[in-house]
Structure 1
Amino acid sequence: MVSRRTLTFFALSSLFFGGTFVAAKAGLAYFPPLLFVAFRFDVAAVVMLAYVGWTSSRAELLPRTRGDVGGILATGVLAIGLTNALLFVGQEYVSSAVGSIVYSLNPIMTPVFAAFLLSDERLSARGAAGMGLGLLGVGLVVSPNPTNLLGGAVGKGILLAGAAAAALGAVLIRRADSDLSSTVRVAWGLPFAAALCHLFAWAAGESAAAITWTTEAALALGYVSIFAGVLAYIAYFGLIDTAGAIRANLIFYIVPVVSTLGGWALLGETIDALTVVGFLTIFAGFAVLGSESIDVGSLLSSVRTNTSLADDDSTVREEPRGHRSD
């Protein structure tokens, strides 16, 4: 059964990541894309390192095993740094709807990597059916223009590489089996992500002189750094530890739903009947996936066993009070 902790991590990571696209689009009007990502991780790294330094002991902070180092590198280089660099650059070439469709291939890629790299995570036929329903639901929610979906090969290729980096990073984190907490791994990983994105920005010729500092720019940077950065990553990487890489990456089916509802609530965007059908289809996909955690046969067997035991216990209850049988 799904624990309350897992549900909380799932809800928070979906919510905070869902607002990333709006803030990213707003910020890209003021920042070059790679510098935007680099500054995002600069801010997040300072906040996270200060937080874990204040709340954790020295023993809890220091990586001691090869698994600890592998988990930190998979977190910072792949799951955070490379993923977001490709995502922000790719968004310049395609619409948000097309970007959502391409990036929602992340949960489909994760079982592929897991099949080769993990021995304890496999996708069953029922799980594959649930994922297929979820992906169909995402397509209905964002309802992209077929012309746009078929064009823009460069942007879609960049986004697809970002989705692959996120999926591979999640699987490698699970494979590393680090003894560090997910929060400490994120704190160590963020400086690697920031350094990688600064290197990409330098290689691409981006300059800080191109940044336009306004209140809107500061708010966008603040959101992607703190809410879609620190808080979202604490929830997301904690989810990987508790639920596994395959189920954790299902949040990327919920992110377009959160973005759509946010646009409706905050920006006055409309939600049509097809979007509602998409929501219901995603829910159906999660219902199929969730049913895998419930063994109906075992439950029925348990009920029959408990009923039989209750009948057998009736003789015990007939004993006189104060007398205990051997």
Structure 2
Amino acid sequence: MLTLIWGCSFLFIKLGTDGFAPLYVSLGRMLFGTVVLLATLAVKRQRLPRAARTWGHLVVAAFLLNSLPFTLFAYAELRIPSTLAGICNATTPLWGMVLSLVALSDDRPTRRRFAGLGIGFLGVLTVLGAWRGFAGQDPAGTVMALVASASYAVGWIYVRRTLASTGDSHLSMSGAQLLLGTVQLAVVAPLFSPLPTSFPAVPLLAVLALGALGTGLAFLLQYGLVAEVGPTTATLTTYFLPVIATVAGVAVLGEELTWNTPVGAVIVLIGAALTQSKGPSVSRIRLRGAARPKTAGKEAGKARV
């Protein structure tokens, strides 16, 4: 269910941008998602965080995990197919691995994860048709989608370092984060895009589904899944997102699909899976017969949309 909702989010973004400016697609998404989470908080009689320090960190988290990537994906889908946006989203663990190499993450690089990084970006080049000189691709749109995916990786590392031990529930933190993201976009959107003058049905319903389902309900399902099966198993849903996004884009929007797109997507997912796996630390690969080294923790960058 979670995979289906997140995978279809790229379709909803594309439909939403047919009637609204990208900033308002993101704002509507945040607004409807916030309503779902705040309503759930009220039903469960939970409170939003109280500590000012927590709210300060959540401002940054909302920007990195919601406002920035949601908006970049919306702008990207004005220029690239939703299928390509979905595949770019799957590169988040690869960016997390890159960040671990520049000491922005506590995870230690391993041989297997290095291999995953190389394989993953080879997959990206395959998707983009590098041997054809990237012919037929929109560089700006692709870069925006990749930056959005990198923003998720940075955001999860930030959250893990600053908000892991606040004592507040996941629901409380998520509600506050989406609320702050909504405020951020409500301030910024009118400054860069004129207010909508009409509300066509299909784009409006797409934004409603994107927010209420793809953001609000998805948050609830994700945390419920983590509680039930654990975070490692729960992240397996991530690797099916490009499949759902591709099927939705081709079936509903009639987007063109060439052989290198699904093949490259599979290579990206293999690389991403390897960057999440554990293996011997690179710093000890020459120490034969030594005690088993500490393994790298699960990469914080979860591929979200």
2:274 and 2:30 mapped to 1: Cα distance? Answer: 36
Q: Are 2:241 and 1:258 equivalent residues in the alignment?
A: no
Taking a change above 3 Å as real, the CA distance of residues 145 and 182 of structure 1, as seen in their structure-2 partners, is farther
- Secondary structure of the 2:78 match is coil
**TM-aligned CA deviation for residue 285 of structure 1:** 4.4
Is 2:141 the partner of 1:122?
Answer: no
RMSD between aligned residues: 4.1
Which of the residues 193, 202, 213 maps onto 2:200? Answer: 213
Unpaired stretches in structure 1, ≥5 consecutive residues: 1-10, 295-326
**Matches of 2:9 and 2:211 in 1, distance apart?**
10
1:37, distance to aligned residue in structure 2 (A): 1.0
Query: Relative contact order (alpha carbons < 8 A, sep ≥ 6): 1 or 2 greater?
Result: 2
Quote the offset at 1:132 in angstroms: 4.0
TM-score by length of 1: 0.68
Give the 3 Å change call, closer, same or farther, for CA 250–117 of structure 1 in structure 2.
Answer: farther
Structure 1: how far apart are the matches of 2:185 and 2:158? 20
Aligned to 2:70: 84
Distance 1:223 1:141, change over 3 A: farther
For residue 82 of structure 1, report the CA deviation from its aligned partner. 1.4
Amino acid aligned to 1:185: M
Query: For residue 169 of structure 2, what is the aligned residue in structure 1?
Result: 181
2:8 pairs with one of 13, 19, 22: 19
Q: Secondary structure at the match of 2:28?
A: helix
Q: In 1, distance between residues paired with 2:108 and 2:159?
A: 16
Contact 1:134/1:253 (<8 A) preserved: no
Which amino acid is the alignment partner of residue 167 of structure 1? A
AA aligned opposite 1:231: L
Mark the CA change 1:279 to 1:19 in structure 2 (over 3 Å): closer, same or farther.
same
Mapping for residues 11-90 of structure 1, pairs under 5 Å: 12=2, 14-58=3-47, 61-64=48-51, 66=53, 68-69=54-55, 72-90=58-76
* Structure 2 counterpart SS, 1:19: helix
- Alignment match, 1:318: none
Larger displacement relative to structure 2 (94-103 or 33-42): 94-103
1:187-198 equivalences under 5 Å are: 187-198=175-186
Q: Alpha-carbon deviations, 1:191-217, whole Å to 9, x = none?
A: 2111222222112132121x4322x12
Does the Cα contact within 8 Å between 1:101 and 1:139 map onto a contact in 2?
A: no
- SS for the counterpart of 2:10 is helix
Aligned positions, number: 279
1:199 aligns with 2:187: yes
**Over alpha carbons, which structure has the higher Rg?**
1
Matched, 1:227 2:213: yes
TM-score where L is the length of structure 2: 0.72
